[in-house]
């Protein structure tokens, strides 16, 4: 399966997906890295890997609709089967999502449905949580709201700061996202009636 990875930042999740895809028996390949930030650290990392990069900054377009139309047009040439959002910091419209319905994943560094949105690690600490983690979910219109495909858990320690917790969760993100992508690429999970449904073993 052909995968486009969307980033806005450092791109460590993008790299973990690219690394997994580089393995011979992995059922997907990264065909493009799309960024809404020219300065995203992940762009240089993608270029260094020889991955195709596309930078489309919001400020270069009149509005959100025009920006998304340009991304969709670029994707039409690349023909991805799957889109993985990996630290992409824009809310994508329903029109866009419907074009890739059931074929779009996002990773969020919390145990959804807890702590959707920003400052998720500090909120987990403030809530007195004893565990934290990350979730890969199908993308739907609400932010961080779609059906959950897979989750990973880490302990939340008394001495944790948002930064130390983020680093611990990130190591699990790097393992979880390739696993979730593999499930989708192999047709072992699909979105149905607002749920992520696992195919039964045959
Ligand atoms: C990750 O924690 C991801 O879950 C969140 O933003 C961070 C992106 O990190 N949505 P990176 O760009 O993949 O290094």
What's the mean pLDDT when you consider all of the chain?
A: 96
pTM for the predicted model, two decimal places:
0.96
- Is the pLDDT score of 68 beyond 70? yes
Mean pLDDT over residues 117-144, rounded?
96
Task: State the number of CA atoms in the 13 A half-sphere of 10 facing the CB.
Answer: 5
Distance 144 CA to ligand 1 centre (A): 13
- Of all residues in the chain, what percent carry a pLDDT higher than 90? 96
Give the pocket of ligand 1 (CB within 6 Å).
7, 9-14, 42, 86-87, 107-109, 170, 173
Cα dist from 114 to 40, 134, 192, whole Å: 27, 10, 22
pLDDT of residue 202: 53
Burial class (CB in 10 A: 0-12, 13-18, 19+), 25: exposed
User: Is position 137 annotated as part of the catalytic site?
Assistant: no
Q: Which of 108, 121, 137, 174 is catalytic?
A: 108
Domains and CATH numbers, the chain: 2-198 (3.40.50.170)
pLDDT of residue 201: 59
Mean pLDDT over residues 43-62, rounded?
97
Q: Predicted confidence band at 143 (pLDDT cuts at 50, 70, 90)?
A: confident
Distance 133 CA to ligand 1 centre (A): 13
pLDDT of residue 180: 98
User: Ligand 1: which of 42, 89, 109 to mutate, most ligand atoms within 8 Å of CB?
Assistant: 109
79-107 pLDDT tens trace: 999 999 999 999 999 999 999 999 999 99
| Beta-carbon count within 10 A of 98 CB | 10
**Residue 59 token pair:** 């400020």
169-191 pLDDT tens trace: 999 999 999 999 999 999 999 99
């Amino acid at each position: 399966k052909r995968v486009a990875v969307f980033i806005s930042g450092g791109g460590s999740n993008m790299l973990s997906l690219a690394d997994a895809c580089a393995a011979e028996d992995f059922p997907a390949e990264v065909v493009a890295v799309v960024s809404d930030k020219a300065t995203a650290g992940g762009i240089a990392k993608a270029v260094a890997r020889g991955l195709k990069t596309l930078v489309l900054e919001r400020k270069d377009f009149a509005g959100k609709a025009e920006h998304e139309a340009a991304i969709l047009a670029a994707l039409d040439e690349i023909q991805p089967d799957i889109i993985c959002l990996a630290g992409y910091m824009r809310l994508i419209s329903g029109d866009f999502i419907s074009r890739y319905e059931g074929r779009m994943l996002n990773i969020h560094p919390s145990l959804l449905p807890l702590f959707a949105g920003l400052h998720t690690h500090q909120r987990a600490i403030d809530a007195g949580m004893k565990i934290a983690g990350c979730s890969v979910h199908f993308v739907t219109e609400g932010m961080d709201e779609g059906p959950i495909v897979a989750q990973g858990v880490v302990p939340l320690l008394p001495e944790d700061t948002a930064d130390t917790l983020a680093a611990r969760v990130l190591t699990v993100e790097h393992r979880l996202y390739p696993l979730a992508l593999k499930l989708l690429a192999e047709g072992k999970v699909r979105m149905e009636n607002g749920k992520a449904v696992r195919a039964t073993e045959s």
